[in-house]
Chains A and B, each alone.
Chain A
Amino acid sequence: MTIAPMPNLKPVSHQTVKAKPRVEIPERKTVNLNDPAIKNFIDKAPDGSRRRGRPATGRMPVITLQLPEEIIERLDSVSKSIGQSRAVLIRSFIVDGLSRRS
C-alpha cells in the first residue's frame, strides 16, 4: 500500500456524534378501544360515563295499583315472614291466581 489514508485531524470535541434517544419505545400495538374490558376500565374513571345510582330495575313494565291499607298491612306481614319484597309477593299471588283460572 503506497497511498496513506488521510488522517482525521479534527479534534474529538468537533466531531459530530449524534446522540440516540434514551427512552425505549417498543413497537406500537393498536389497541381496540371498543374492547369491553378496556371500555369498562376507561368508564370507571371518576368522570367516566359509567352510570351511577340505582341500577335498572328490569324490563317489566311498571304499573300503579291501589289497595286498601288493611291488605297492604297483611301483605307486608307475609312478605316479612318469608323474607321477600311486597312486589315479589303481589306478583306471585297474581301468577297463582291467573294459573288457577286457565
Chain B
Amino acid sequence: MEPRVIVVANTKGGVGKTTVALQIAIGQAIAGKDVWYVDGDRQQTGLGALTLRESQKVKTKLSCAAYPNATLLGKQVQLQADKYDLVVIDVGGYDNAAMRTALFVSDLLIMPFQPRSFDTWAISPMTQLLEEVAVQRRQKIPAYAILNCADPANSSDNRDAVQALDGNEYIQYLDTPLCRRKAFATASGFGLCVSELQVKDPKAMSELNALLTAIFGDDAQIGSNKPRKRRGTK
C-alpha cells in the first residue's frame, strides 16, 4: 500500500524537515499526483516557500494549508486526506501538539536527521514519543529515518549516525541519503523541486529520485537524472 498521509517530523530542529517535506511534496506533484502540503509549523516556512512558488515560472500546482492549531490540523487532515493522492505534513522541530496529532493521522513518518552528534541524541526522545503513540494507536506507525545533509563522501560521520539507529524497534533507517547540496536549499527556498531549477544538479536529482522510489515505487520519479545538453554541443 502506498502512503497517503506522510508526516515529516523530528523533535530536533534544524534537521531539514521543511526541505525534505517540500521536495517530497513537489516531487510527487511533478510525478502527476494531487498533493496537499499541510504546514503545522508555527514558523510556516513551507507555506512561505510555496507562496514564492506562485511567482516562479512552473506549471505544476499543489495545494497548501497552514494549521498552527493541532486539533484543527488533525480534524482537517482526517476530513480531507481522501480527496488527495498525497498529503505531506510538516511540523515544528520540537515535541509539540501538532506533531503528536500528525503521528495519529499519518500512514508514514519520515524523520530526517543529519550526521551530527546533536541529531543522533534526538533519536532517543523521538523513539520514546513513538512508543507512546504505538500504545495509543494500538499499532506502530511505520517510521523511517533518512540522512539529510549527509556528507557526500559517505564519511565515517554518516556511518556513525546510521549506527545510532541500530536495534531501534520503532525507527528504521532508509538508505536514501540526501547529501549536503546547495540545490536542495536553493530549490526549497523558492518552493521548487530540485528538478525545476534552471541549473540542474544531477546528483541532487538522483538522490531525491532514490528517496521517492523507496517511498512510492518507480512511478514516483521526478524525471531524468541526466543533465540537459547545452545548445550547440554534440
Pair A43/B97 contact, Cβ less than 8 Å: yes
Which secondary structure dominates where chain B touches chain A? helix
Give the CA-CA distance A29 to B136 in the complex, in Å.
12
Partner of B213, one of A21, A29, A30, A31: A21
Q: Mark B4-28, 1 if CB is under 8 A from A, else 0.
A: 1100000000000000000000000
Q: Which residues of A contact B108 (CB under 8 A)?
A: 23, 25
A47 CB-CB contact with B under 8 Å: yes
Q: With A and B bound together, what is the CA distance between A27 and B3 in angstroms?
A: 10
By secondary structure, the A interface counts as loop
CB-CB < 8 A to A20: which residues of B? 217-218
Would B96 and A27 count as touching, CB distance under 8 A?
Answer: no
Which residues of B (48-78) have their CB < 8 Å from a CB of A?
70-71, 74-75, 78
Output the nearest chain B residue to A33 by Cβ-Cβ distance: B74
A-B contact pairs, 18 of them (CB 8 A): A18-B219, A19-B217, A20-B218, A21-B213, A21-B215, A22-B213, A23-B3, A23-B214, A25-B108, A27-B1, A28-B5, A29-B137, A29-B138, A31-B104, A42-B100, A42-B101, A46-B95, A48-B100
Chain A interface residues toward B at CB < 8 A:
18-31, 33, 35, 37-38, 41-43, 45-49
